[in-house]
Amino acid sequence: MTADTIQLEIIAMEKRRKLYSTIGILLMIAVLASGYGLASSMNSGSFLNGLEKFFDYPGEIVREAWEAGSGFFALVLQFLPALIETLNIAGAATLVGGAAAVVLAFLGSSNLGVKPPVIISVVRRIMDSMRAFPELIIALFLIFILGSSPVPAMIAVAFHTAGALGKLFSEVNENADAAPIEGLESCGANWLQRMRYGVLPQVLPNFLSYFMLRFEINVRASAILGFVGAGGIGTELRRTIGWGRGAGDETAALFFLLILSIFAIDQLSSFMRQRLVSGKAGS
Protein backbone atom coordinates (compact mmCIF):
# COMPACT_ATOMS: atom_id res chain seq x y z
CA MET A 1 0.00 0.00 0.00
CA THR A 2 1.34 3.40 -0.88
CA ALA A 3 0.82 6.49 1.18
CA ASP A 4 -1.57 7.88 -1.40
CA THR A 5 -4.01 5.02 -1.35
CA ILE A 6 -4.00 4.99 2.40
CA GLN A 7 -4.72 8.71 2.41
CA LEU A 8 -7.68 8.19 0.10
CA GLU A 9 -8.91 5.30 2.10
CA ILE A 10 -8.71 7.28 5.28
CA ILE A 11 -10.74 10.13 3.89
CA ALA A 12 -13.36 7.82 2.44
CA MET A 13 -13.69 5.64 5.47
CA GLU A 14 -13.40 8.33 8.02
CA LYS A 15 -16.72 10.01 7.32
CA ARG A 16 -18.57 6.75 7.38
CA ARG A 17 -16.69 5.12 10.20
CA LYS A 18 -16.50 8.15 12.42
CA LEU A 19 -20.27 8.15 12.60
CA TYR A 20 -20.45 4.42 13.22
CA SER A 21 -17.80 4.39 15.87
CA THR A 22 -19.31 7.38 17.64
CA ILE A 23 -22.66 5.64 17.69
CA GLY A 24 -21.01 2.40 18.82
CA ILE A 25 -19.11 4.05 21.62
CA LEU A 26 -22.13 6.03 22.80
CA LEU A 27 -24.19 2.86 22.76
CA MET A 28 -21.60 1.01 24.78
CA ILE A 29 -21.41 3.82 27.32
CA ALA A 30 -25.19 3.90 27.53
CA VAL A 31 -25.34 0.14 28.12
CA LEU A 32 -22.61 0.31 30.73
CA ALA A 33 -24.18 3.30 32.45
CA SER A 34 -27.62 1.74 32.58
CA GLY A 35 -26.08 -1.55 33.66
CA TYR A 36 -24.33 0.18 36.52
CA GLY A 37 -27.52 2.04 37.30
CA LEU A 38 -29.41 -1.24 37.48
CA ALA A 39 -26.64 -2.92 39.47
CA SER A 40 -26.48 0.00 41.85
CA SER A 41 -30.22 -0.05 42.41
CA MET A 42 -30.08 -3.78 43.15
CA ASN A 43 -27.22 -3.32 45.59
CA SER A 44 -28.04 -3.02 49.27
CA GLY A 45 -25.54 -0.19 49.76
CA SER A 46 -25.50 2.78 47.44
CA PHE A 47 -22.66 3.69 45.15
CA LEU A 48 -21.92 7.17 46.46
CA ASN A 49 -22.09 6.14 50.08
CA GLY A 50 -19.81 3.24 49.33
CA LEU A 51 -17.32 5.43 47.57
CA GLU A 52 -16.83 7.42 50.75
CA LYS A 53 -16.35 4.27 52.76
CA PHE A 54 -14.13 2.63 50.20
CA PHE A 55 -10.91 3.29 52.05
CA ASP A 56 -12.37 2.84 55.51
CA TYR A 57 -12.02 -0.87 55.63
CA PRO A 58 -8.54 -1.19 54.15
CA GLY A 59 -7.55 1.75 56.35
CA GLU A 60 -8.95 0.09 59.41
CA ILE A 61 -7.13 -3.19 58.94
CA VAL A 62 -3.88 -1.45 58.04
CA ARG A 63 -4.14 0.65 61.18
CA GLU A 64 -4.80 -2.38 63.34
CA ALA A 65 -1.91 -4.17 61.71
CA TRP A 66 0.30 -1.18 62.39
CA GLU A 67 -0.76 -1.11 66.02
CA ALA A 68 0.07 -4.79 66.34
CA GLY A 69 3.68 -3.87 65.58
CA SER A 70 6.04 -6.81 65.55
CA GLY A 71 3.15 -9.02 66.58
CA PHE A 72 2.01 -8.69 63.01
CA PHE A 73 4.85 -10.86 61.80
CA ALA A 74 4.03 -13.45 64.40
CA LEU A 75 0.51 -13.48 62.97
CA VAL A 76 1.88 -13.90 59.47
CA LEU A 77 3.88 -16.89 60.66
CA GLN A 78 0.87 -18.24 62.49
CA PHE A 79 -1.19 -18.27 59.30
CA LEU A 80 1.54 -19.85 57.20
CA PRO A 81 0.04 -23.36 57.56
CA ALA A 82 -3.27 -22.06 56.20
CA LEU A 83 -1.47 -20.63 53.19
CA ILE A 84 0.35 -23.92 52.66
CA GLU A 85 -2.96 -25.72 52.79
CA THR A 86 -4.37 -23.44 50.10
CA LEU A 87 -1.26 -23.91 47.98
CA ASN A 88 -1.54 -27.67 48.44
CA ILE A 89 -5.17 -27.65 47.35
CA ALA A 90 -4.17 -25.79 44.22
CA GLY A 91 -1.02 -27.83 43.62
CA ALA A 92 -2.65 -31.23 44.02
CA ALA A 93 -5.71 -30.14 42.04
CA THR A 94 -3.58 -28.81 39.20
CA LEU A 95 -1.48 -32.00 39.10
CA VAL A 96 -4.43 -34.40 39.28
CA GLY A 97 -6.59 -32.30 36.96
CA GLY A 98 -3.64 -31.74 34.63
CA ALA A 99 -2.95 -35.47 34.44
CA ALA A 100 -6.59 -36.14 33.65
CA ALA A 101 -6.45 -33.32 31.10
CA VAL A 102 -3.52 -34.94 29.33
CA VAL A 103 -5.43 -38.21 29.03
CA LEU A 104 -8.59 -36.46 27.87
CA ALA A 105 -6.68 -34.28 25.43
CA PHE A 106 -4.96 -37.21 23.74
CA LEU A 107 -8.24 -39.09 23.46
CA GLY A 108 -10.08 -35.98 22.28
CA SER A 109 -7.76 -34.81 19.50
CA SER A 110 -8.84 -35.59 15.98
CA ASN A 111 -5.38 -36.01 14.45
CA LEU A 112 -3.87 -38.70 16.66
CA GLY A 113 -5.50 -41.81 15.25
CA VAL A 114 -7.82 -42.53 18.18
CA LYS A 115 -10.03 -45.50 17.33
CA PRO A 116 -12.94 -45.75 17.13
CA PRO A 117 -13.42 -42.06 16.25
CA VAL A 118 -16.60 -41.85 18.29
CA ILE A 119 -14.34 -41.70 21.37
CA ILE A 120 -13.09 -38.32 20.20
CA SER A 121 -16.47 -36.64 20.16
CA VAL A 122 -17.55 -38.31 23.41
CA VAL A 123 -14.39 -37.14 25.16
CA ARG A 124 -14.89 -33.63 23.81
CA ARG A 125 -18.41 -33.53 25.23
CA ILE A 126 -17.05 -34.74 28.55
CA MET A 127 -14.46 -31.98 28.59
CA ASP A 128 -17.07 -29.35 27.72
CA SER A 129 -19.33 -30.37 30.55
CA MET A 130 -16.46 -30.61 33.03
CA ARG A 131 -15.55 -27.07 32.13
CA ALA A 132 -19.09 -25.84 32.53
CA PHE A 133 -19.45 -27.04 36.13
CA PRO A 134 -18.62 -24.11 38.38
CA GLU A 135 -16.17 -25.16 41.09
CA LEU A 136 -18.48 -23.72 43.71
CA ILE A 137 -21.25 -26.22 43.02
CA ILE A 138 -19.01 -29.28 43.17
CA ALA A 139 -17.30 -27.98 46.29
CA LEU A 140 -20.56 -27.28 48.11
CA PHE A 141 -21.96 -30.65 47.13
CA LEU A 142 -18.87 -32.53 48.29
CA ILE A 143 -18.64 -30.54 51.50
CA PHE A 144 -22.15 -31.72 52.23
CA ILE A 145 -21.18 -35.35 51.74
CA LEU A 146 -17.59 -35.36 53.02
CA GLY A 147 -17.76 -32.59 55.59
CA SER A 148 -15.62 -29.45 55.79
CA SER A 149 -12.14 -30.30 54.55
CA PRO A 150 -9.72 -29.26 51.81
CA VAL A 151 -10.51 -32.40 49.80
CA PRO A 152 -13.84 -31.18 48.35
CA ALA A 153 -12.14 -28.03 47.10
CA MET A 154 -9.31 -30.07 45.66
CA ILE A 155 -11.69 -32.37 43.81
CA ALA A 156 -13.80 -29.45 42.61
CA VAL A 157 -10.82 -27.52 41.30
CA ALA A 158 -9.28 -30.64 39.76
CA PHE A 159 -12.53 -31.47 38.01
CA HIS A 160 -12.78 -28.06 36.43
CA THR A 161 -9.06 -28.05 35.62
CA ALA A 162 -9.34 -31.37 33.77
CA GLY A 163 -11.95 -29.89 31.45
CA ALA A 164 -10.33 -26.50 30.97
CA LEU A 165 -6.77 -27.72 30.46
CA GLY A 166 -8.00 -30.69 28.43
CA LYS A 167 -9.52 -28.37 25.88
CA LEU A 168 -6.41 -26.20 25.63
CA PHE A 169 -4.14 -29.26 25.46
CA SER A 170 -6.18 -30.83 22.69
CA GLU A 171 -5.95 -27.61 20.69
CA VAL A 172 -2.17 -27.79 21.06
CA ASN A 173 -2.23 -31.46 20.02
CA GLU A 174 -4.21 -30.69 16.93
CA ASN A 175 -1.52 -28.28 15.78
CA ALA A 176 1.20 -30.89 16.18
CA ASP A 177 3.27 -31.90 13.16
CA ALA A 178 2.16 -35.30 11.84
CA ALA A 179 5.54 -36.31 10.36
CA PRO A 180 7.18 -37.64 13.56
CA ILE A 181 4.02 -39.58 14.41
CA GLU A 182 3.99 -41.17 10.99
CA GLY A 183 7.69 -41.92 11.26
CA LEU A 184 7.07 -43.84 14.47
CA GLU A 185 4.05 -45.61 13.07
CA SER A 186 6.19 -46.87 10.21
CA CYS A 187 8.55 -48.39 12.81
CA GLY A 188 5.70 -50.39 14.34
CA ALA A 189 5.38 -48.28 17.50
CA ASN A 190 2.07 -48.73 19.35
CA TRP A 191 -0.33 -45.89 20.09
CA LEU A 192 1.06 -44.97 23.50
CA GLN A 193 4.62 -44.99 22.16
CA ARG A 194 3.60 -42.78 19.24
CA MET A 195 1.99 -40.31 21.64
CA ARG A 196 4.98 -40.40 23.98
CA TYR A 197 7.59 -39.73 21.31
CA GLY A 198 5.73 -38.41 18.29
CA VAL A 199 3.51 -35.89 20.05
CA LEU A 200 4.66 -35.22 23.60
CA PRO A 201 8.07 -33.70 22.78
CA GLN A 202 6.34 -31.28 20.41
CA VAL A 203 3.59 -30.18 22.76
CA LEU A 204 5.26 -30.36 26.17
CA PRO A 205 6.50 -26.74 26.32
CA ASN A 206 3.00 -25.46 25.55
CA PHE A 207 1.46 -27.91 28.01
CA LEU A 208 3.78 -26.71 30.77
CA SER A 209 3.06 -23.11 29.98
CA TYR A 210 -0.71 -23.62 30.22
CA PHE A 211 -0.14 -25.71 33.34
CA MET A 212 1.66 -22.86 35.10
CA LEU A 213 -1.06 -20.42 34.12
CA ARG A 214 -3.68 -22.79 35.48
CA PHE A 215 -1.78 -23.25 38.73
CA GLU A 216 -1.94 -19.52 39.28
CA ILE A 217 -5.68 -19.46 38.56
CA ASN A 218 -6.19 -22.43 40.87
CA VAL A 219 -4.41 -20.80 43.80
CA ARG A 220 -6.92 -17.98 43.55
CA ALA A 221 -9.84 -20.41 43.24
CA SER A 222 -8.67 -22.47 46.22
CA ALA A 223 -8.39 -19.38 48.38
CA ILE A 224 -11.93 -18.34 47.45
CA LEU A 225 -13.39 -21.81 48.01
CA GLY A 226 -12.01 -21.72 51.53
CA PHE A 227 -14.65 -19.14 52.17
CA VAL A 228 -17.42 -21.69 51.72
CA GLY A 229 -15.74 -24.13 54.09
CA ALA A 230 -13.00 -25.80 52.08
CA GLY A 231 -10.17 -24.95 54.46
CA GLY A 232 -6.97 -23.02 53.95
CA ILE A 233 -6.59 -19.30 53.91
CA GLY A 234 -10.17 -18.61 52.83
CA THR A 235 -11.61 -20.32 55.89
CA GLU A 236 -9.30 -18.33 58.16
CA LEU A 237 -10.40 -15.15 56.41
CA ARG A 238 -14.05 -15.93 56.94
CA ARG A 239 -13.37 -16.50 60.61
CA THR A 240 -11.46 -13.25 61.17
CA ILE A 241 -13.88 -11.21 59.09
CA GLY A 242 -16.84 -12.81 60.81
CA TRP A 243 -15.57 -11.52 64.13
CA GLY A 244 -16.05 -8.01 62.88
CA ARG A 245 -14.05 -5.34 64.59
CA GLY A 246 -10.91 -6.23 66.48
CA ALA A 247 -9.51 -8.90 64.20
CA GLY A 248 -8.21 -6.38 61.69
CA ASP A 249 -4.60 -7.31 62.31
CA GLU A 250 -5.32 -10.97 61.61
CA THR A 251 -7.23 -10.08 58.46
CA ALA A 252 -4.35 -7.88 57.39
CA ALA A 253 -1.88 -10.70 57.97
CA LEU A 254 -4.01 -13.04 55.85
CA PHE A 255 -4.38 -10.45 53.09
CA PHE A 256 -0.65 -9.87 53.21
CA LEU A 257 0.13 -13.58 52.85
CA LEU A 258 -2.36 -14.10 50.06
CA ILE A 259 -1.27 -11.08 48.06
CA LEU A 260 2.38 -11.94 48.50
CA SER A 261 1.98 -15.53 47.36
CA ILE A 262 -0.24 -14.70 44.40
CA PHE A 263 2.19 -12.01 43.38
CA ALA A 264 5.11 -14.43 43.62
CA ILE A 265 3.34 -17.18 41.69
CA ASP A 266 2.20 -14.69 39.08
CA GLN A 267 5.75 -13.47 38.48
CA LEU A 268 7.19 -16.97 38.55
CA SER A 269 4.61 -18.31 36.14
CA SER A 270 4.99 -15.51 33.61
CA PHE A 271 8.77 -15.85 33.79
CA MET A 272 8.62 -19.59 33.22
CA ARG A 273 6.05 -19.29 30.47
CA GLN A 274 8.20 -16.81 28.63
CA ARG A 275 11.14 -19.20 28.80
CA LEU A 276 9.09 -22.20 27.75
CA VAL A 277 7.48 -20.53 24.78
CA SER A 278 10.74 -19.03 23.59
CA GLY A 279 11.68 -22.69 23.16
CA LYS A 280 14.24 -23.81 25.70
CA ALA A 281 12.72 -27.09 26.83
CA GLY A 282 13.24 -30.58 25.51
CA SER A 283 11.99 -33.81 26.95
The residue (of 41 and 70) whose beta carbon lies closer to another protein is: 41
- Other CB atoms within a 10 A radius of the CB of residue 166 amount to 29
Q: Which of 97, 166, 234, 248 binds another protein (CB under 8 A)?
A: 234
Structural contact between residues 254 and 61, judged by C-beta atoms closer than 8 angstroms: no
DSSP string, 164-228: HHHHHHHHHHHTS-SHHHHHHHHTT--HHHHIIIIIHHHHHHHHHHHHHHHHHHHHHHHHHHIII
Residues 60-99 that bind another protein (CB under 8 A): 85, 88, 91-92, 95-96
Count how many Cα atoms sit within 13 Å of the Cα of residue 96 in the half-sphere of its side chain.
16
Q: Which of 70, 188, 246, 278 binds another protein (CB under 8 A)?
A: 188
**Interface characters, 3-22, with another protein (x: CB under 8 A):** x--xx--x--xx--x---x-
Q: Which of 42, 115, 116, 278 binds another protein (CB under 8 A)?
A: 42
213 binds another protein (CB under 8 A): no
Residues 142-161 that bind another protein (CB under 8 A): 144-147, 149-151, 154
Q: Which of 162, 212, 223, 257 binds another protein (CB under 8 A)?
A: 223
239 binds another protein (CB under 8 A): no
134 binds another protein (CB under 8 A): yes
Nearest to 221 by CA among 144, 282, 278, 164: 164
Residues 156-185 that bind another protein (CB under 8 A): 179-180, 182-185
Structural contact between residues 238 and 208, judged by C-beta atoms closer than 8 angstroms: no
58 binds another protein (CB under 8 A): yes
Whole-number Å distance between alpha carbons of 113 and 132: 27
